[in-house]
């Protein structure tokens, strides 16, 4: 079992920045890939970014590429999502998720989820 807790959400003006953190506990030290997803009201949960267990490979959804950066510090069992140049359309609840083995863009491929962090970008 892996427990995930997100933090760092909040309210920011368009053009601003936020950094989300995803702290893992439980079966730490395993080779879990971690993904970030987001869900706006009334919409499906969608892929944002993902990183392999060793941090060597990352992937991003097209609309966030160049603005968001995913990284991890395995010594702290924490994955980060640095979000710059935020836009109102980035407003959503952001979730981190973990899976053993490689990254994936489909939410149903991740068995472990955090509770979510609200990110609101005002125009």
**Per-residue pLDDT, 30:** 64
pLDDT digits (tens, 9 = 90+) for 70-111: 999 999 999 999 999 999 999 999 999 999 889 999 999 999
Instruction: Report pLDDT digits (tens) over 22-70.
Output: 999 987 656 799 999 999 999 999 999 999 999 999 999 999 999 999 9
Provide the pLDDT for residue 29. 58
pLDDT of residue 66: 97
**String of DSSP letters for 61-90:** -GGGBTTEEEEEETTTTEEEEEE-S--GGG
């Amino acid at each position: 079992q892996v427990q995930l807790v997100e933090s760092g959400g909040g309210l920011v003006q368009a053009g601003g920045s936020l950094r989300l953190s995803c702290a893992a506990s439980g079966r730490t030290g395993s080779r879990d890939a971690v993904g970030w997803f987001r869900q706006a009201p009334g919409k499906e949960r969608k892929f944002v970014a993902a990183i392999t267990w060793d941090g060597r490979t990352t992937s991003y959804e097209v609309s966030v590429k160049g603005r968001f950066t995913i990284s991890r510090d395995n010594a702290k069992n924490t994955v980060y999502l640095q979000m710059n140049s935020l836009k109102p359309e980035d407003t959503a609840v952001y979730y981190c998720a973990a899976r053993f083995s490689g990254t994936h863009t489909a939410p149903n491929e991740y068995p472990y989820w955090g509770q979510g962090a609200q990110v609101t970008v005002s125009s």
